[in-house]
Structure 1
Amino acid sequence: MKTLDTLDWVSIGIYFLVLVGIVIWVVRKKQANTEDYFLAGRNVGWFVVGASIFASNIGSEHVVGLAGAGAGNKLPMLIYEIQAWVVLLLGWVFLPFYARSGVFTMPEFLEKRFDARSRWILSVFSIIAYVLTKISVTIYAGGVVVSALLGIDFWTGAIATVLLTGLYTVLGGMRAVVYTETLQAIILVIGAGALTFIGLQHVGGWESMKQTVTPEYLNMWRSASDPEFPWPALFITSTIVGVWYWCTDQYIVQRTLTAKNIKEGRRGTIFGAMLKLLPVFLFLIPGVIAVTLKMRGELEYDSPDQAFPVLMSNLLPSGLRGLVAAGLLAALMSSLASVFNSVSTLFTVDIYKKLKPNTPEKKLVKTGQIATVIVVIIGIIWIPIMANISGVLYEYLQKVQSYIAPPITAVFLLGIFHKRINAQGAYVTLVVGFVAAAFRIVLELIKDSLDTSSFLFKLGDMNFLTFGAWFFLFCIILTIVVSLVTKEPEDEKVENLTFGTISEEEKIKNKSSYGFIDIAISIVVVALVIAVMIFFNGK
């Protein structure tokens, strides 16, 4: 590892000065109410929405973890990074329903469509899920990045970054988050793009790299009997997780709800989908470059998760290395800032305001700030436990999401596409689904102490992708059966909130919110996703 020099520190310093300038500008603006603090006053344009979607998704867990997947012979994980077509579903299918309902949060939407019980359970579970899949993962990845870059202790680096990010998120709210994320997305793309370009030149081009690692290494489609990544289960479960993450999760959807109108929100998702194609080239390929150089004896690192920072510090010239370091810090801070704001929104709007409906707006904003601080502390405590579930960070993330996503995806999809689905079906599925997800995580942690011939061992040892696919089918059947044996939902619970019940006025309004360009770019994005799937077939 090469240490950062003066020019690198100048690059990092300039980045932080611009960041501080944005935060000061935002803090000086009026943020007296919850709409301003949590949704930036619902007045954001498509470019900022799209950049914010991309930056909040691409955190340091992607930079570290996706490069780690590339370096650790786990290329099938790439499928989670080419889900641009699922991002389009958010804009074209889900967003019109969310915008029509006028909600702040996804649990609030469930209350409008079903009842208060579904809202409560999704609110509480979402906050737990953020600790398991976002806060702890991002803090851990940040610790790896910062300690590798600055040569300091892991915990010092992790906690320092958390405090800095928490400070500007608490002070500036959603407006600070979306505008700083736009800056961070630009820096990240420039920095990581430069590393990919220089790295490919260093290894002698794509073909030379392919010869070293062998074509089979670059195959994302393994046989249906593969013990790690059977392709049918990989495709099904990654899609289930994708719909949950991109179309129903507060963390991402909140960005589109900040838009001025449906048109700007949808265009933001189309732009976000285009940007979503970049991580393959910005982060996964550097991981493969790192393993190529390691095979040739030109690079050394201890674990796949260190591949990106080590490659960056060894290949990039002075100054540019600092810019990429700033980009890595930006990635860490943007994903942390996003999740901090989402947690405070969920807790304040869906839990605290429900319990104390007459609370003044200013006190609600303060409550959200306190909630953020508490959840960060819990996330830090979870890190040592997280390390026991999976060796490669990115795989840990996808495993836990494969257990969390099926019940939520089933309830949202059926709720929007089928007007016969009622509150009882949604509630039972969410409760049973979350208990089953927690049970699977516990079984995975204790499976070594179980009898290998027992049912519990087999359930805990089942491939996580196969488990996710069957679990989703179970949730779909459970929602439908419980809904059909209980009474039909009232008209007010389905009107304009499900397909087949949209009024003519709303249909006309929706049609006027897109044009030929929106459709054409969406088709191009889908074509590019298919092209990437064909390209990485190991031939």
Structure 2
Amino acid sequence: MLDLELLDIAVIGVYFFCIFWIAIRVARKNKNGDDSTGYFLGGKDMGWFVIGASLFASNIGSEHLIGLAGTAASSGVAVAQFELLAGIILLLLGWVFVPFYIRSGVFTMPEFLEKRYSKNTRAYLSVISIVAYILTKISVTIAAGGIIFQAMGMDFWTGAVIIVLITGIYTTVGGLKAVIYTDMIQMFVLIAGSLVVTVVGLFHLGGWSAFTAGLDASYFSLWKPISNPDFPWTGIIFGAPILGVWYWCTDQFIVQRVLAAKNIQQARKGSIFGGYLKMLPLLIFVIPGVIALALSQKGELLLNTPDDALPMLIKVLMPAGLKGLVLAGLLAALMSSLSSVFNSCSTIFTLDIYKKIKPESTEKHLVLVGRIATVGLVFFGLLWVQFIDNISDQLFKYLQSVQAYISPPIAAVFLLGIFFKRLNSKGAMASMVTGFVLGIARLIGEVNKTDLQGAFFYFCDINFLHFAIFLFVICVAVLILVSLLTQRPNYAQIEGVTFHKMSMIDTRQDLILSGILVCILTSIWIYFS
């Protein structure tokens, strides 16, 4: 219990009112809201600032709010590597993928796969994406919202229903434009609330020097040895980027934001801005976890589990009003993530599944189906949350890791498909099916690895980042080999989605900003080495 005062509740209430008011106003002003472009891609007139803000806000979920601080409290800042690497992967999105996505005119990532390969690859990615969204992103975010309300003294289910209804209503009514603009506002609330925790915590400890002097230097190192079970440097350098390419460059949940851009330049600038924002989680999510550890060692804070780090910091350090601001920031992160997954999932269902079954559907009918799909996602998300309590913590952790095990083949077919026109649909399907089978085998084996021996045990026990490298290499080999052994694709048909006929649009300003971002990341790596 966080012992909220009236001022805290008032701050949270004002936040909810503002978000709802902005969403409804945006929805009313969206003149193209009754056609698929207006509803699913926000009218394709988004600028770089709102795109970058939405990329950041949509990405921040329960694993960031609780998981980053909790992991940092137990093992230090190394967990921030995934956030920092995301900045570089976002440059890859902006400079390499965006030109092909925008020029091809696609609405979804499965649609892009169909243009590059075949209908079968589109169907595969559509089904995999929707199932993964419902089983992981939607249910976990709803549960996290319920937990936050529970900490505020409210019943878990009451809190879960409140966050789902508010988010579901403005997502259903306003479509992507409402999601993106509310994401922008939520970004400010999230950063402000989280930054307050860091600043107050450092001030309480006597500043940065006193903070770092009070803990072992290993807690401030981003680089861990190969033997580290969680963050081996080999996995960070070679494995994490594979998962990053899948998430930041090929997942509808993220890429839908750049698809809504006015043009390639705005989409790329938005990606670069998002890369800068991804430098912040080290400061606003990870460092607070280490601060909680330092306070616990001083006896000023009790950590029963590492995941208590952020909640306990809020309870112990935040005065009335600021506590409400921080909680509003946490709710902002959850709501932006939830609204984004609602919209992305309904887009895939409507355009990649329903429209394939009913190709004669009118634009207005497709928008209606998208809204109904969002309502359905709200229902299934709430339904699935009920089963979370009946799943062991360990099994639920494995369920979450499914995405890490199915992402390498998807990254392979997208990344290589853009650069090598000789790759065909048979190679793509063989690669994705091979990756899926090996990934599921790893998941099943990981659950039962205590009964395994020898090579089978190693296969299921190897660090998941090292496994991602192995799986990616296998999928690339299958993709290339099967493609070369079968008929080449129709080059004229795929010329708009492969590199040989496309050139990147360069601007001096974007190149300079990208270079500065790389320098910032390099400086962080050196300082925390």
1:192 aligns to what? 194
Q: CA deviation at 1:482?
A: 0.6
Distance 1:455-1:386 versus aligned 2 partners, 3 A rule: farther
Query: Is the counterpart of residue 536 in structure 1 residue 528 in structure 2?
Result: yes
**Of 107, 116, 119, the match for 1:116:** 119
Question: What letter is aligned with 2:345?
Answer: V
Partner of 1:522: 514
Q: Which residue of 2 aligns with 1:165?
A: 167
Note the C-alpha offset of 1:307.
Answer: 1.5
Going from structure 1 to structure 2, the CA distance change for 1:106 and 1:219 (only over 3 Å counts) comes to same
Change (3 A) 1:38 1:520: same
| 8 Å Cα contact 2:72/2:78 also seen in 1 | no
Aligned to 1:272: 274
Aligned residue among 91, 94, 99 for 2:102:
99
Match of 1:15 in 2: 15
What are the residue-to-residue correspondences of 1:76-475 with 2, within 5 Å?
76-82=78-84, 83-148=86-151, 150-376=152-378, 377-378=380-381, 379-381=384-386, 383-384=388-389, 388-389=393-394, 399-448=401-450, 450=451, 452-453=452-453, 455-475=455-475
Q: Is the 8 A contact 1:61 1:138 kept in 2?
A: no
Contact 1:136–1:382 at 8 Å: present in 2 too?
A: no
CA–CA separation in structure 1 for the residues paired with 2:468 and 2:37 = 36
Shift of 1:351: 0.6
User: 2:41 — aligned with what?
Assistant: 39
Q: Which amino acid aligns with 2:436?
A: F
Amino acid at match of 1:479: L
Aligned partners of 1:123 and 1:347 also within 8 Å: yes
The structural deviation recorded for 1:193 is: 1.1
The one-letter code of the counterpart of 1:318 is A
Q: Shift of the alpha carbon at 1:515? A: 2.4
Q: Match of 1:151, as an amino acid?
A: G
Q: CA deviation at 1:519?
A: 1.0
1:440 and 1:162 mapped to 2: Cα distance?
A: 33
Which secondary structure state, in structure 1, belongs to the residue aligned with residue 311 of structure 2?
Answer: helix
CA 1:236–1:155: 2 relative to 1, 3 Å: farther
**Higher mean displacement: 114-123 or 369-378:** 369-378
Structure 1 vs Structure 2: percent identity of aligned residues? 49
Report 1:47-66 matches (<5 A).
47-66=49-68
What is the one-letter code of the residue matched to 2:512? A
For residues 28 and 387 of structure 1, the distance between their equivalents in structure 2, rounded to whole angstroms, comes to 44
**Counterpart residue number, 1:71:** 73
Paired amino acid for 1:518: D
Question: Aligned residue for 1:492?
Answer: 492
How far did 1:151 drift?
2.2
Kept in 2: contact 1:224–1:232 (CA 8 A): yes
In the alignment, the residues of structure 1 paired with residue 211 and residue 402 of structure 2 have an alpha-carbon distance, to the nearest angstrom, of: 32
Q: Give the Å deviation of 1:249.
A: 0.8
Query: Cα gap change, 1:477/1:381 in structure 2, threshold over 3 Å: closer, same or farther?
Result: farther
Mapped contact 1:55–1:181 kept (Cα < 8 A):
yes
Letter in 2 for 1:380: V
CA contact (8 A) 2:77 2:282 kept: no
Shift of 1:124: 0.5
How far apart, in 2, do the equivalents of 1:234 and 1:385 lie?
33
Mapped contact 1:107–1:350 kept (Cα < 8 A): yes
Deviation, structure 1 residue 213: 2.7
- Mark the CA change 1:387 to 1:534 in structure 2 (over 3 Å): closer, same or farther: farther
Alignment partner of 1:152: what SS?
A: coil
CA distance in 2, matches of 1:74, 1:163: 37
Cα-Cα RMSD: 2.0
Q: Secondary structure at the match of 1:302?
A: coil
Q: Do the aligned partners of residues 368 and 443 (structure 1) sit closer, same or farther apart at CA in structure 2, a change above 3 Å counting? A: farther
Aligned length: 523
For residues 7-29 of structure 1, the C-alpha deviation after alignment (integer angstroms, 9 at most, x for no partner) is: 11221122122112112213324
- Give the whole-Å Cα distance in 2 for the aligned partners of 1:322 and 1:463: 39
Offset from partner CA, 1:318-367 (integer Å, 9 cap, x none): 21221111111110100000001000000100011011101222222222
Structure 1 counterpart of 2:522, one-letter code: I
Shift of 1:141: 2.7
Q: Deviations over 1:183-237 (max 9, x none)?
A: 0001111111121111111112223222333111222211112233321023212
Separation in 1 of the partners of 2:433 and 2:474?
13
d(CA) in 2 for partners of 1:386, 1:413: 36
Mapped to 1, the partners of 2:133 and 2:313 lie a distance apart of: 30
Distance, in Å, in 2 between the alignment partners of 1:309 and 1:271 is 29
Runs of 5+ in structure 2 lacking a partner?
Answer: none
Q: Report if aligned partners of 1:144, 1:306 keep a CA contact under 8 Å in 2.
A: no
**Aligned counterparts of 2:2 and 2:337: Cα–Cα separation in 1:** 26
TM-score between the two structures when normalised by the length of structure 2:
0.94
Report the Cα offset of residue 431 of structure 1. Answer: 1.8
Matched-pair contact (CA < 8 Å) for 2:52–2:272: yes
**Residue identity opposite 2:16 in structure 1:** F
CA 262–385 in structure 1, closer or farther in 2 if over 3 Å, else same: farther
Indicate how the Cα distance of structure 1 residues 380 and 373 shifts in structure 2: closer, same or farther if over 3 A, else same: farther
Question: How far, CA to CA, are the matches of 2:373 and 2:351 in structure 1?
Answer: 11
Shift of 1:375: 3.4
Query: Which residue identity lines up with residue 91 of structure 2 in the other structure?
Result: L
Contact 1:121 1:431 in 2 (8 A): no
Per-residue deviation, 1:492? 2.5
- Using the alignment, how far apart are the partners of 1:161 and 1:267 within structure 2? 32
| CA distance in structure 2 between the aligned counterparts of 1:385 and 1:53, rounded to whole angstroms | 33
Cα gap change, 1:463 to 1:109, in 2 (>3 Å):
same
- Which range is displaced more, 470-479 or 122-131? 122-131
Aligned amino acid, residue 509 of structure 2 = I
Contact kept, 8 Å, 2:91 with 2:272, in 1: the verdict is yes
Deviations 1:493-538 (A, max 9, x none): 3313112222xxxx4xx53xx522211111111111112222222x
